Amino acid sequence: MKSAIHIISLLILLLLATAQCKDDDTQIFRAYAEGTISYSDAKFLQDPIHLVKDGKIIAETYPKDNGNFVLAGPYDKGIYKLQLKQYKIKSFSTETKGCRLSADSLAIEIPDGVTYVIFNNIELK
């Protein structure tokens, strides 16, 4: 009986000793976006705001009553978007260079390499 416990203990120790953390995690960064959205229709508060990378949602939040929002999600490289579900963006202001309004006005494209962006104001149509 004691030898069976010793063998099981050794197997568990061996498994723990050979377990490794993924090296990939050290290469993953986070994308942060925050700001204020000016809106006139209170229904806007019911729709989520997303960060989207390659067609996949990497972060989701709902705006506060004052229009403020904060988003953070995994990011490695490439362009990503701050995307609204159905409300079109009229204009936006930020200190971050290279951000631009998408053709459908539902998103703001954030350039490759930018991991933190503050939108001073996003005005909806």
What are the domain boundaries of the chain?
25-124
The whole-number pLDDT of residue 52 equals 96
At 53-106, the pLDDT tens digits run 999 999 999 999 999 999 999 998 999 999 998 899 999 999 999 999 999 999
Q: Read off the pTM.
A: 0.76
Least confident of 16-20, 41-45, 95-99: 16-20
Residues 47, 87: contact at Cβ < 8 Å?
yes
The whole-number pLDDT of residue 21 equals 54
Sheet with 29-38, side-by-side order of all strands: 68-75, 29-38, 116-124, 89-94
| Of 21 and 40, more confident | 40
Fold topology of 25-124: Immunoglobulin-like (2.60.40)
Tell me the longest C-alpha to C-alpha distance in the chain: 75
